[in-house]
């Protein structure tokens, strides 16, 4: 059975209370439930992880190679600042999808550049919590494509 890692960066634990004009009212626990339901439909397993600490996110990415078939990551603010996170993502040869709840290209200038996107197969943004569901479908397709190579 395939297993995917869903990583969430800093301040996403505050979803539902934080800047609801950008992120809506959905909590991270609700997003986790949506992800688990979607994975169950596809008969895959997911591990859902959140940290406000860059090093913990990097360590989690380092743990992927023998345990997971792919990564979905919402790097949050580290999207725009973390070369260390970019390097960790580049070090993994697993399929990777970057997601954002809000449309980063319709936000402040400093949020319009994603450093981490250079190391992923694709980016999904602006679809709210549904972006996670879209990312699960996309990562499954990438995993299948990689298996057929």
Select from 9, 147, 20, 4 the least CA-distant residue to 72.
Answer: 4
Are 70 and 142 spatial neighbours (Cβ–Cβ below 8 Å)? Answer: yes
Question: Looking at 23, 62, 78, 105, which residue is catalytic?
Answer: 23
Alpha carbon 139 to its chain's center = 10
Candidates 100, 105, 110, 132; catalytic one: 100
**Catalytic residue at 100?**
yes
CA neighbor of 117 nearest in space, from 133, 105, 134, 129? 105
Positions annotated as catalytic residues are 23, 100
């Amino acid at each position: 059975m395939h297993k995917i890692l869903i990583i969430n960066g800093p301040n996403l634990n505050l979803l539902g209370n934080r800047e609801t004009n950008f992120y809506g009212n959905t909590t991270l626990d609700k997003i986790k439930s949506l992800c688990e339901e979607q994975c169950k439909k596809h008969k895959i397993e997911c591990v859902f992880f959140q940290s406000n600490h860059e090093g913990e996110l990097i360590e989690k990415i380092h743990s992927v190679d023998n345990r997971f078939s792919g990564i979905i990551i919402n790097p949050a603010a580290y999207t725009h600042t973390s070369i260390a996170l970019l390097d960790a993502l580049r070090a993994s040869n697993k399929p990777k999808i970057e997601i954002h709840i809000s449309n980063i290209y319709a936000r402040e200038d400093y949020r319009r550049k994603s450093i981490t996107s250079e190391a992923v197969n694709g980016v999904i943004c602006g679809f709210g919590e549904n972006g996670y569901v879209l990312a699960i479908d996309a990562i499954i397709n990438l995993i299948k494509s990689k298996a057929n190579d």
